[in-house]
Amino acid sequence: MTIEKHERSTKDLVKAAVSGWLGTALEFMDFQLYSLGAALVFHEIFFPESSTAMALILAMGTYGAGYVARIVGAFIFGKMGDRIGRKKVLFITITMMGICTTLIGVLPTYAQIGVFAPILLVTLRIIQGLGAGAEISGAGTMLAEYAPKGKRGIISSFVAMGTNCGTLSATAIWAFMFFILSKEELLAWGWRIPFLASVVVMVFAIWLRMNLKESPVFEKVNDSNQPTAKPAPAGSMFQSKSFWLATGLRFGQAGNSGLIQTFLAGYLVQTLLFNKAIPTDALMISSILGFMTIPFLGWLSDKIGRRIPYIIMNTSAIVLAWPMLSIIVDKSYAPSTIMVALIVIHNCAVL
């Protein structure tokens, strides 16, 4: 059977799905490595002269800088993806993220170069954020354009599973480091290992992206034999009701991610003085469960539409937020109960 110019074989679809999954996994592994590092160790490495509370706030501020950069990166690379293609942009963004994450692992500490250490940290974080801003949206667009009709939900869920896999990998790495190293070893050199190890995933992901075919939809739209529509002005999207609705929905999910995976992890350890294994183990278990819940919801959205599953999960997050968070921050509960609460709210509100 011959394949038309703008059609893709099953092999191409598999390669695109793996590329989308792996790239998003690298993005979220990079971000989760940093977020847990910021919450658990960076305040002592890069802000040692501040009080414990202020050092944690400053460390979390460097984490937040990456999110601001993501907004800019999403706009820049989103426009670029429409102009030069999805494949080239996804190659650029994954390279940016991977290099910056690796460089964080070789940064001098505050004790070595003083205030320049956190400045360099923030700089790398911003560049990393620029690339990350386009990764999940770009990979999602690529897979949606690759997927056959009626299977876009389950195919696009590979991107969401990538976020889950990245979170799991980063959390598992930190949990392993906390288990095998003493606090002194971790602060002296152990904190570098998770960032340096990410280079292995980066190299494979870059190789995969280099061998990926362009989106068939992009090729079809830009075919020289097809009439080219005049692109809409950049400002026109701000006049769209759909744009603001989608932004609001994504804003809520991203906010939950930062609150649960980063702030609560640091709060449990630094303020409530729980063992570091409690938040890392809970997030790791939750991410494993996500390998079942994410593809199921993707499959369900192909059967009954995207709207109903989205409403169900968001309603669940709203209803469960207060009781679950009340348990998490209450030291009177057993650590196992706190872990269960963290797992439940993480699966409903983030994954």
Is the pLDDT at 58 greater than 80? The verdict is: no
The pLDDT value given to residue 1: 44
Q: So where are the chain's domains?
A: 10-219+251-349
Lowest mean pLDDT among 98-102, 226-230, 310-314: 226-230
Q: Which residue has the higher pLDDT, 243 or 225?
A: 243
The pLDDT value given to residue 192: 93
Lowest mean pLDDT among 152-161, 224-233, 246-255, 292-301: 224-233
Q: What is the mean pLDDT of the chain?
A: 81
How does residue 106 score in pLDDT terms, banded at 50, 70 and 90?
Answer: very high
SS (H, E, C) the chain: CCCCCCCCCHHHHHHHHHHHHHHHHHHHHHHHHHHHHHHHCHHHHCCCCCCHHHHHHHHHHHHHHHHHHHHHHHHHHHHHHHHHCHHHHHHHHHHHHHHHHHHHCCCCCHHHHCCHHHHHHHHHHHHHHHHHHHHHHHHHHHHHHHCCCCCHHHHHHHHHHHHHHHHHHHHHHHHHHHHHCCHHHHHHHHCHHHHHHHHHHHHHHHHHHHCCCCCHHHHHHCCCCCCCCCCCCHHHHHHCHHHHHHHHHHHHHHHHHHHHHHHHHHHHHHHCCCCCHHHHHHHHHHHHHHHHHHHHHHHHHHHHCCHHHHHHHHHHHHHHHHHHHHHHCCCCCCHHHHHHHHHHHHHHHCC
pLDDT in tens, 69-82: 888 888 888 888 88
Lowest mean pLDDT among 118-127, 220-229, 336-345: 220-229
Is the pLDDT at 221 greater than 50? The verdict is: yes
CA angle, residues 317, 320, 324, in degrees to nearest 5: 120
pLDDT in tens, 117-168: 888 988 998 898 888 888 777 888 888 888 777 888 888 888 878 878 887 8
The pLDDT value given to residue 2: 46
Q: Which CATH architecture describes the domain 10-219+251-349?
A: Up-down Bundle (1.20)
Q: Tell me what the mean pLDDT of segment 283-312 comes to.
A: 86
